[in-house]
A and B are shown apart, each in its own frame.
Chain A
Amino acid sequence: MSLQRFVLKRGLVTIPLLLGISLITFGMVHAIPGDPIDFITLFTELDPAVEAEIRAEYGLDQPVYIQYIDWVTSAAQGDFGRSIITRSPVIDEIMSRLPYTLVMGVMAFGVTVVTAIPSGILAAYYRNTKIDQVSRVFALLGIAIPNFWLGLMLLLVFASGLGLFPVLPPTDQGLLSVEMLSYTLLPAIAIGTGSTALMMRLMRSSMVEELDKDYVRTARAKGLPERSVVRKHVLRNSLISVVTVAAIQVAFIISGSVVVEIVFAYPGIGRLLVDRVGNRDFPVIQAIVLLIGVAVILANFLADVLYAYLDPRIRY
């Protein structure tokens, strides 16, 4: 199968998935007991005529499936309605927060890759030695440590104790300013630690497997320097399976950022979601949950395509 056909086939599978998660997010809000109009009007008594007008405006007088189609078609165009709390368009609220979360996620991913891959290589190459054992202990700790608690402790030690980082996010600085980026480092570490532990062990086991293969013995036997055996032969092949975990990392990092943003009072999507759950601002909750679902599905899709590109065998 050519790569194009694989991409097409895999892409077609994502369409029902996307429809499905939109149905779930839509159904979620409709499962709430009570009349949706009470959430819009915040439980004020209304003149029946005004109430009917509001119902018509929000499409609440339509049957449920029409409401769903309306909601999906406008959501696909980026229109998620207005927030119940701030009355501003949901999409504006999300777009003002999204860049922060993206920067933090990218940094967390960077932290993961930069630490996990080299340490995984070391652990595999020196397997069953002290180095390997140390990496095992770190993996054990890194997986079990609650990311929000790690964030709190990092804040306590490095921001509050040693004063290396600000305790609160800088407010008047731009997103890509030095102050903001350095503030983002601690949350990125807090999120990245868990995925580092996972990725490091994956890198190790994948590389251990490759190191035992015949072509490595051949490469060594023909006198290639150890450095190029590891870099050109083993590393390339063992990175393939690590790439596919990148998709799991996306979900992991999103999960982490929702919680860690609270620790650091970080103005991202996760904090918006948690704040609005407290206020029962359903249009915003719905939109964020849907966006996160879409992001994870797309990440899975990209990982599969990347895997198929790197390892043509799996296209069949």
Chain B
Amino acid sequence: MSSDTSTTTTERGRIRVSGFDVDRVEERDPLSSWEPGLQAKEGRGRLEFAWLRFKRNRLALFGGAVIAFMVLLAVFARPIQAPPGVPLLGGQTIQPLSLAPADPAAQNIITGYTEPTLENTLAWPPTGLHLFGTDWAGRDILSRIMYGGRWSLSIGFIAVAVALLVGVPLGSIAGYYGGKIDELIMRFVDMLYAFPFIVLAIAVIAVLGRGYWEMILALVAVGWLPYARIIRGEILSVKENDYVTAAKALGSRDRSIITRHILPNAMAPVIVQATLSIGTTVLAAAALGFIGLGLSPASAEWGVMLNVEQDAIARGRWWAGAFPGLAIFLFVMAINLVGDGVRDAFDPQGDTQQSGGFR
């Protein structure tokens, strides 16, 4: 994927050379660092400029819109009731809308078209009544995809968030303190890196068993590795800066040096990686669901939907397989567009140097 963006940045590099907006950004950075009193503002300024650059990237905005659309569909597919244990809200409906055209679990049996075999009464190709057709049990596939997004998407977002919470502190500790603790953490990361993503996730599931939180744990167990590696590398270079030495000389505690001075300046590549990881995580979760090691067959998680219909697809019921797969595909592509946009926004010159020629 990194190679992919080098194209965009090659072009962007040209724009920079011909004297466009990027100059403004470059003037701003040295200016703001001359005013020591504005450190908090400087951090915000960087995010603001990243956002300004991101806003101009139409492809990334399109990806963001697709993601927002899919998330909204998943949230508003069916009403949500608060679990009974929650105070005040317990048992009440907190989200009353229901956009899904049918109950994702309801079976609709249509007879009278053709000979009433099991397949002909239940599994219908797309019609006006069921836009995406119905599955082997006569359930509306469109509704199931909308509803299933709750599983697929939440797994992606939660697993990445938890992986960040594991990887960033461990990587920061390794990078900041160095020495034995660095060796210990990074050798462990190296070892886990020897296993391909899916294989390690399968191994963790083999130990833990199947289920929603088990799956998230398995994805976190694999997912935290890149963050630890990236943040460590960044911190190794950031901690050499004079402002870190100054903070130390002023007697700041290690924790506040890391969280207030180092991390804000080291997070950009981690944010990029995390954005892209949401896509890979959703993909991996769907793959695990597809090979039968994910959620239960009763859930409408997209990979599980494909798993259940695997034989039917091979026998020609294309709609049962095409639409859930398209949903995964669309989501991952949208995330990748956003991720590339975020990368360009944080580091407009980064890949230009790699592809050379414009320095």
Contact = CB atoms under 8 A, between A and B. Distances in A.
A255 B196 contact: yes
Interface stretch (B117-125, B171-179, B200-208, B248-256): B200-208
A266 to B, nearest CB: 12
Interface string B282-293: 010011001111
Contact of B194 (A145, A155, A282, A296): A296
Nearest to A29: B207
Interface stretch (A2-10, A218-226, A257-265, A306-314): A257-265
Contacts of B316: 156, 160-161
A289 B283 contact: no
A141 B290 contact: no
B3 to A, nearest CB: 3
Interface string B310-342: 100111101001100100110011001100000
Given A31-B207, A198-B1, A259 B11 contact: no
A263 B314 CA distance: 9
Contacts of B196: 251-252, 254-255, 258, 292, 296
Contacts of A273: 199, 202
B199 A292 contact: yes
Interface string A155-191: 1100111000001000000000000000000000000
Residue among B199, B316, B329 with the most chain A CB within 10 A?
B199
Residue among B187, B194, B290 with the most chain A CB within 10 A?
B194
A109 B352 CA distance: 29
A152 B306 CA distance: 9
A255 B199 contact: yes
Contact of B11 (A128, A167, A201): A128
A184 B318 CA distance: 22
A69 B90 CA distance: 54
Nearest to B192: A24
B292 A205 contact: no
A293 B314 contact: no
A24 B205 CA distance: 15
Contacts of A127: 7, 10
A183 to B, nearest CB: 13
Residue among B191, B333, B337 with the most chain A CB within 10 A?
B191
Interface in B258-305: 279, 283, 286-287, 290-293, 303
Contact of A149 (B292, B328, B355): B328
A18 to B, nearest CB: 9
A140 interface: yes
B48 interface: no
B195 interface: yes
Contact of A204 (B7, B192, B198, B356): B7
Contact of B3 (A28, A31, A147, A205): A205
Interface residues of A, number: 64
A155 B314 contact: yes
A197 B207 CA distance: 34
Contact of B357 (A17, A132, A212): A212
Nearest to A253: B196
Contacts of A280: 206
Contacts, number: 168
A252 B284 CA distance: 12
Given A153-B321, A255-B196, A274 B293 contact: yes
Contact of A144 (B6, B199, B207, B332): B332
Interface in B188-242: 188, 190-192, 194-200, 202-207
Contacts of B191: 17, 20-21, 24
A278 interface: yes
B321 A139 contact: no
Contact of B4 (A20, A201, A259): A201
A127 B14 CA distance: 13
A259 B198 contact: yes
B354 interface: yes
B358 to A, nearest CB: 9
A152 B337 CA distance: 25
A258 B328 CA distance: 19
Contact of B329 (A20, A136, A144, A297): A144
B202 A274 contact: yes
A255 B284 CA distance: 10
Contacts of B325: 146, 149, 152-153
A48 interface: no
A107 interface: no
A251 B195 CA distance: 8
Contacts of A208: 6, 10, 355-357
Contacts of A146: 283, 286-287, 325, 328-329, 332
The 10 nearest A-B residue pairs measured at CB: A149-B325, A201-B3, A144-B333, A20-B191, A212-B357, A255-B196, A205-B6, A202-B3, A144-B332, A209-B356
Interface of B: 1, 3-4, 6-7, 10-11, 187-188, 190-192, 194-200, 202-207, 279, 283, 286-287, 290-293, 303, 306, 310, 313-316, 318, 321-322, 325, 328-329, 332-333, 336-337, 354-357
19 contacts: A20-B188, A20-B190, A24-B191, A136-B7, A146-B283, A147-B287, A148-B286, A148-B290, A149-B321, A155-B314, A156-B316, A201-B7, A208-B6, A209-B356, A212-B357, A277-B202, A277-B206, A282-B206, A285-B203
